[in-house]
Chain A
């Protein structure tokens, strides 16, 4: 019983182990192959990239690995600077500032992800604490509001959110506007960082998850802290947050990845290329040079995927545990 897996059901396939390992290896290869293909392709010349031939073993090896010992081409490290240069051609940003456009888009993506994570963690921790630990009138109805927000898919509010990002109407235009339409709040955040971050700085899911976590922490702990003179704020920061670290990690990481990979919204509310993020940039690039010269698109894809893969490899236990738990309730 000490080891949970010690009594795990052993399906007694006689040909067992070997077959199971073969399945795992096959699945593992399938899962990794596109990544391997992406990375290898990003170092190929255009000629090698389009020359894929599996008719014989040497040519198949060469298709994957056109460099020595299977082929004769030198690795094309130049794809990365070339992709950056081609993306620069799509706007005047590089000429005006001297900074590569892709670098700016990298910065945008990182900034949006970091601000979203910080925002979600702070607002959700505070709200979850109030729901778990404090008594106040209207608690039930406000919690129902959070649950309602949890159930509303983003797709439903995409269009009205875009309109809320429009420029506010000035006096005359506002007066001639239909009364009901004039009530729609317009922030003028289109094409700014505010549009990419503020609507995503709170999460009903995060509030719900953290509240569940906080409620498991015994109240006696708070009474003890109270005697030591700690207020709610200090108790939250110094006791609850360290105790609920796994929940914070899961929420933070999922938010980071969601923001890093976000595409739909950014494409709708940004107009200028220097305001866009990596996903949108790659999609635009695929429509132009990246579509014609795939090895350059692969180089951009590697640059987008790499930071997330590194983050994942260092923190994978939080992902796997967090997701596994989410299914069990």
Chain B
């Protein structure tokens, strides 16, 4: 219709005076604007603002530009960033493999024809959807040295309950002390408080990881298993040569999500320890700088450093993963 009008200009033009394409474009912009205004205004522009602020010593009000001083200060040898990065990496390196291996095992169990399987999937997912503040409060109580459930169980078996969230010493140090050994300083292991946080983290996320693994298992064609069985492969060979390699895209996706998750983890650590006793991860350090000291400039610089690190991990994983993943 409209193209016809365009060719015969002396005939009356369509009401809006716009071509069909222009009308469609206007409609598209109308459809897009609410979402894009919010995303650009509250996500993309703040990235620029954050960087600008990180070049100043903004603290409640702007004072002056200080160039990259916030960054150099954060990267000083005696900066609090290094211990917090250490805590972050410890948290990540222990909880990610722990979570993923438990979840893979559970996914393999739940993939069997078992009665009540659906029920267990629902139950296991429950920790993931509940408020982390509430569940961390419950776990903090269960870890309480004198009044907690966990130490009551340990005492019942004749053990001495440790201080859990209040214990700064490393777990290897504590173990060796009970055996009267002396460990070198670099082999102290994560603090017991961090260990408790890792136990909690595992409880929250294993159900989620298992659900995603189950999705991945469902994508492996049955023909593969049948062919392997015809060739006489046993259960272990099927697992090692078919399931695990063909599951690698899922494992890759999950490890990326979980690693990033550990770098961003905040609510439960804040509630359980407030960052004390070796649990001050980089995410907590950043938040603390803003929440307790209102150091907007310094906190922004820390956020950018942490983001660079996450980006680096992601890129490394993409490069490494693409070479080692079977699609």
Contacts and interface: CB of A to CB of B under 8 A. Distances in A.
A23 B109 contact: yes
Interface string A126-161: 110111001111010010011011001101111111
Interface in B139-197: 139-142, 144, 147-149, 152-153, 155-156
Nearest to B314: A151
A319 B129 contact: yes
Contact of A257 (B28, B112, B129): B129
B46 to A, nearest CB: 4
B241 to A, nearest CB: 12
A237 interface: no
B320 interface: no
Interface stretch (B11-19, B72-80, B89-97, B119-127): B119-127
Interface stretch (A24-32, A67-75, A95-103, A239-247): A24-32
A158 to B, nearest CB: 7
B313 interface: no
B54 to A, nearest CB: 8
Given A142-B36, A324-B212, A326-B212, A282 B267 contact: no
Contacts of A23: 106, 109
Nearest to A260: B131
B214 interface: yes
A66 to B, nearest CB: 14
A308 B34 contact: no
Contacts of A55: 155-156
B245 to A, nearest CB: 14
B99 interface: no
A282 B36 contact: no
A221 interface: no
Contacts of B41: 185
B322 to A, nearest CB: 14
A54 B153 contact: yes
B68 interface: no
B254 interface: yes
A185 B49 CA distance: 10
Given A4-B218, A160-B50, A308-B129, A297 B137 contact: yes
A263 B132 contact: yes
B208 A52 contact: no
Contacts of A53: 152
Interface residues of A, number: 110
Contact of A129 (B31, B62, B219, B270): B31
B101 to A, nearest CB: 14
A15 interface: no
A86 B324 CA distance: 57
Nearest to A295: B141
Interface in B97-119: 106, 108-114, 116
Given A145-B36, A261-B133, A282-B134, A134 B28 contact: yes
A178 B65 CA distance: 10
A38 B266 CA distance: 22
Contacts of A11: 108, 112, 235, 238-239
A146 B34 contact: no
B138 A20 contact: no
Contacts of B147: 49-50, 52, 294
Contacts of B225: 7, 9
Contacts of B250: 327-328
B259 interface: no
Given A52-B149, A136-B29, A279 B130 contact: no
Given A24-B120, A28-B120, A204 B131 contact: no
A298 interface: yes
Given A137-B25, A305-B131, A305-B135, A160 B36 contact: no
A161 B156 CA distance: 50
Contacts of B316: none
Contact of B113 (A8, A34, A135): A8
A123 B44 contact: no
B81 interface: no
Interface string A281-292: 011001000100
Nearest to B274: A287
B4 interface: no
Contacts of A309: 126, 129-130
A312 interface: yes
A283 B225 CA distance: 50
B26 to A, nearest CB: 8
B39 interface: yes
A153 B310 contact: yes
Residue from the set A55, A136, A145, A185 with the largest chain B CB neighbour count within 10 Å = A136
A6 to B, nearest CB: 8
A153 B263 CA distance: 11
B120 A324 contact: no
15 contacts: A37-B138, A54-B156, A122-B34, A134-B28, A155-B307, A159-B299, A199-B38, A202-B38, A261-B131, A268-B290, A294-B144, A324-B214, A324-B215, A327-B216, A327-B250
Interface of B: 21, 24-25, 27-29, 31-32, 34-47, 49-50, 52-53, 56, 58, 62, 65, 106, 108-114, 116, 120-127, 129-135, 137-142, 144, 147-149, 152-153, 155-156, 203, 207-208, 211-216, 218-219, 222, 225-226, 234-235, 238-239, 243, 250, 253-254, 260, 264, 266-267, 270-271, 283, 286-287, 290-291, 296, 299-300, 303-304, 306-307, 310
